[in-house]
Amino acid sequence: MIPIEFFLAFAAILFAIGAYGVMTKNNTIIVLMCVELMLNAANINFVAFSAFTGDAMGQVFVIMTITVAAAEVAVGIAILLNAYKLKKATEVDGLASMRW
Amino acid sequence: MNIDPTIISNIFGDFTPIAPMIIMILGALIMPAIYLSSKRRNLVTGAMLAVIIISIIINFVLLVGEYTGTYAELFTYDAFSGLMILLFQTVVFLVALVSAASTETTRLYYGAYSSLLLAATTGMMFVATAGDLLTIFLGVELVSISSYALVAMKRNDPRAAEAAVKYVIIGGISTALTIYGISMLYGVTGTTNIADIATVLSTDGFSWAFGIAMITIIAGYGFKIAAVPFHMWAPDVYEGAATPVSLFLATGSKKMGLVVFFKIFLVLFVAGSAVASFATVEMQYVFAIIAAITMTVGNVVAIAQPNIKRMLAYSSIAQAGYILIVMAVMSEYALTGGLFHMFTHVFMKGGAFLIVGALISVGIGEKISDYRGLAKRAPFVAFAMLLFLFSLAGIPPLAGFTSKFILFSSAIYGDGGVMTQWIWLAFIAILNSAISLYYYARVVKAMYIEKGETTDKIKIPNAFAVAIAICVVFVIILGIYPQLILDFCSNAAAALFA
């Protein structure tokens, strides 16, 4: 059986890649995808812990997280489309009229 | 008062602990149908207010009747959750009252707007009753996702589109941080029930994984309350959104974040303070530093803002800093003060946003310079604004003074004597109140002393006038007679600490 540390390290790396993408990418759609990576890192944690302790609550949490992530992306993409229609920009740099 | 909560429990049976939310969510489901079949915004507003009032009555009976109950091990109704539900209902009542009268809110999608408003409130109420990390997470997400759409639903304003994009991305990051922290917490303790987590932790003590969980959860929910350094989205979103929505976010959504802080961290660290290795004292200092930085940054940056919505946004960042004193002191008295301040903040900050919204609806801009000579043009509105701003600054005998007094004094008095540990925090808070008076007084100066370009009288919409009048009444009454809410607050604090 694979030790739990491997799963945790994998999830942590996935989370770090997502966080790196969120901070460096200019395209808002890629940023949203990176947020998804971060959410899935947490899902892997949940499933790993759930499998190792034999407790079902972790898996319930994963289903809920996936649902929430789907809803968030649906609303997020709609908002990006709206921004593109009104401001002709999907880049982070093009959405900086308000500062401070 | 003698009210028997069995009237409610006879109707709702096992569902009594979530009865106020059931009414709210049913309302959220029928609002679009009412709008689509009638196309009249006033009818939808009436239906919304009816739903909210029914929900308030149910909650009030349960709260005054001192009902306690649990539903499905996920929701617990007690004095704390009842009081917080009342707070969120008050907020949504004010927002629903003025939404149709505001020229900024959507016309075409008003059914969806009202539905989202009620759904977001339901999420907040779920958080207030939550006893499990799962319900807290889902409640917060229900609020977040609804409010992303609410922010974007402003008419003809590219700023709203930009604000919504920022909000959705920051909100997504905050969700990801939180859920990662919750997964670590679940891994450490093997459960997601907060009371069980506290029990496990008070025997196991502190571990590095628990530390990671705490850091990520504090960061994640720190975004929700806009604590510095997680505050950069708040001014943009409050400025870009329609003013009723800004009101909803500043007074409702932020309070929900604070409720989460109380529910998770206060419970865990107070339970864990029995264990020497639990680092409760270190966490108190972390919260104290966050509180001090949050109030200072909020107040100092607010001075430089020419836009009044942005100024109010920074001022509510500062107010969240004041309430975070509760997390540093971690005493029952502090929580009483914090809850009371959350209530008074709804009326004073809500009132100020209502006035801004009312004036935008009659064609006055958002700049502080647009408020010149307002006292001549609309004496009632200018005087109400003066009351709200002075109350925010903490001038007696208004509500803001009373609640700030209790909150700040809790950092000095506690356990039946003077504590020297947090005097510096109270000192910084009082210093900040003095700074805040400067930028509030700037608005008052523009309204009362500076001359405007015209002296034409302004007539604000009736719905706004009623909502502002409600806020004025409460700002004065809670200042003179704080017992009205204070007893509920101390009961609620006792329930959370029990």
The letter for the amino acid at B312 is: L
Q: Identify whether B46 is part of a domain.
A: no
Burial B13-39 (b: 16+ CB within 10 A, else e): eebbbbbbbebbbebbebbbebbeeee
Q: Closest Cα of chain A to B156: distance in Å?
A: 8
Which residues in chain A are contacts of B317 at CB distance < 8 A? Answer: none
Locate the chain A residue with the closest alpha carbon to B236.
A98
Peptide bond connecting B244 to the previous residue in cis, omega within 30 degrees of 0: no
Q: Closest Cα of chain B to A25: distance in Å?
A: 12
Helix (H, G, I), strand (E, B) or coil at B367: strand
Helix (H, G, I), strand (E, B) or coil at B66: coil
Q: Residue B380: what pLDDT?
A: 94
Q: How far apart are CA B440 and CA A52, in angstroms?
A: 56
Q: Strand B413-414 and strand B75-77: pairing?
A: unpaired
Locate the chain A residue with the closest alpha carbon to B145.
A72
Locate the chain B residue with the closest alpha carbon to A98.
B236
Burial A1-26 (b: 16+ CB within 10 A, else e): eeeeeebbeebbebbeebbebbeebe
Residue B387: pLDDT band (50, 70, 90) is very high
Half-sphere exposure of B456 toward its Cβ, with a 13 Å CA cutoff?
8
CB contact under 8 A, B164 and A83: yes
Which residues in chain A are contacts of B147 at CB distance < 8 A? Answer: none
Which residues in chain B are contacts of A68 at CB distance < 8 A? Answer: 137-138, 141, 145, 175
Contacts of residue B128, defined as CB under 8 A and 6 or more positions apart, other chains included, come to B80, B81, B84, B85, B88, B256, B259
Which residues in chain B are contacts of A45 at CB distance < 8 A? Answer: 180, 183-184, 186-187
Among B360, B337, B365, B355, smallest CA distance to B425 is for B337
How do the residues of chain A divide into helix, strand and coil, expressed in percent and rounded to 5? 80, 0, 15
Q: Residues B194, B195, B196, B201: is their CA dihedral positive or negative?
A: positive
Pair B35, B114: CB distance under 8 Å? yes
Tokens encoding B481 = 């007679």
Residue B324: pLDDT band (50, 70, 90) is very high
Q: Identify whether B176 is part of a domain.
A: no
The stretches of B39-157 forming alpha helices (DSSP H) are 41-64, 79-99, 110-129, 133-152
Q: Identify whether B38 is part of a domain.
A: no
Q: Given a cut of 70, is residue B1 above it in pLDDT?
A: no
Q: Closest Cα of chain B to A61: distance in Å?
A: 7
Q: Which of A15, A65, A82 sits opposite B152 (nearest CB)?
A: A82
CATH fold for the domain made of A4-89: Helix Hairpins (1.10.287)
Pair B482, B340: CB distance under 8 Å? yes
Average pLDDT over residues B472-481: 95
Domain that includes residue B440, residue range: 281-498
CB contact under 8 A, A98 and B301: no
Pair A45, A8: CB distance under 8 Å? yes
Which residues in chain A are contacts of B130 at CB distance < 8 A? Answer: none
What is the dihedral angle through the alpha carbons of A79, A81, A82, A86, rounded to the nearest 10 degrees? 140
Locate the chain B residue with the closest alpha carbon to A38.
B176
Q: Residue for token digits 């740099």?
A: A93
Which residues in chain B are contacts of A57 at CB distance < 8 A? Answer: 134, 186, 191-192
> What does the mean pLDDT of chain A come to?
91
Q: Given a cut of 70, is residue B277 above it in pLDDT?
A: no
Which positions in chain B have a beta carbon within 8 angstroms of at least one beta carbon in chain A?
Answer: 134, 137-138, 141, 144-145, 148-149, 152, 158-159, 161-166, 168-169, 171-173, 175-177, 179-180, 182-184, 186-187, 190-192, 235-236, 239-240, 301, 304-305
Q: Residue B497: what pLDDT?
A: 86
Q: Given a cut of 90, is residue B52 above it in pLDDT?
A: yes
Q: Residue B198: what pLDDT?
A: 86
Q: Given a cut of 80, is residue B284 above it in pLDDT?
A: yes
Which residues in chain A are contacts of B216 at CB distance < 8 A? Answer: none
Locate the chain A residue with the closest alpha carbon to B188.
A49
What total number of domains does chain B contain? Answer: 1
Residue ranges of domains in chain A: 4-89
Q: Identify whether B490 is part of a domain.
A: yes
How do the residues of chain B divide into helix, strand and coil, expressed in percent and rounded to 5? 80, 5, 20
Residue A80: pLDDT band (50, 70, 90) is very high
Tokens encoding B157 = 């304003």
Phi (first) and psi of residue B372, to 5 degrees: -60, 135
CB contact under 8 A, A41 and B180: yes
Q: Given a cut of 70, is residue A100 above it in pLDDT?
A: no
Phi (first) and psi of residue B482, to 5 degrees: -65, -20
Burial class (CB in 10 A: 0-12, 13-18, 19+), B327: buried
Window from A72-86, B93-107, B265-279, B445-459 with minimum mean pLDDT? B265-279
Q: Given a cut of 70, is residue B274 above it in pLDDT?
A: no
CB contact under 8 A, A98 and B239: yes
What would the pLDDT profile of B196-239 be if each residue is shown by its tens digit? 988 888 787 778 888 889 999 999 999 999 998 899 999 999 99
Q: Given a cut of 90, is residue B408 above it in pLDDT?
A: yes
Window from B208-212, B251-255, B296-300, B345-349 with minimum mean pLDDT? B208-212
Q: How far apart are CA B94 and CA B91, in angstroms?
A: 5
CB contact under 8 A, B145 and A68: yes
What would the pLDDT profile of B117-163 be if each residue is shown by its tens digit? 999 999 999 999 998 999 999 999 999 999 999 999 987 788 899 99
Q: How far apart are CA B170 and CA B167, in angstroms?
A: 5
CB contact under 8 A, B177 and A100: no
Phi (first) and psi of residue B102, to 5 degrees: -75, 140
Of chain B, the percentage scoring pLDDT greater than 70 comes to 98
Phi (first) and psi of residue B364, to 5 degrees: -95, 140
Rounded to a whole number, what is the distance in angstroms from the first to the last CA of chain B?
24
CB contact under 8 A, A82 and B190: no
Residue B258: pLDDT band (50, 70, 90) is very high
> What does the mean pLDDT of chain B come to?
92
Locate the chain B residue with the closest alpha carbon to A11.
B180
Residue B269: pLDDT band (50, 70, 90) is confident
Pair B117, B99: CB distance under 8 Å? yes
Which residues in chain A are contacts of B192 at CB distance < 8 A? Answer: 57, 61
Q: What is the DSSP string of B423-457?
A: HHHHHHHHHHHHHHHHHHHHHHHHHHTSPPS----
Locate the chain B residue with the closest alpha carbon to A94.
B162
Q: Which of B137, B158, B187 sits opposite A45 (nearest CB)?
A: B187
Tokens encoding B319 = 């107010």
Q: Given a cut of 70, is residue B416 above it in pLDDT?
A: yes
Q: Residue for token digits 């929910």?
A: B221
Window from B15-19, B173-177, B273-277, B278-282 with minimum mean pLDDT? B273-277
The letter for the amino acid at B221 is: Y
Q: Which helix (H) or strand (E) holds B23?
A: helix B19-38
Average pLDDT over residues B64-91: 93
Residue A19: pLDDT band (50, 70, 90) is very high
Q: Given a cut of 80, is residue B95 above it in pLDDT?
A: yes
Q: Identify whether B472 is part of a domain.
A: yes
Which residues in chain A are contacts of B235 at CB distance < 8 A? Answer: 98, 100
Phi (first) and psi of residue A91, to 5 degrees: -85, 150
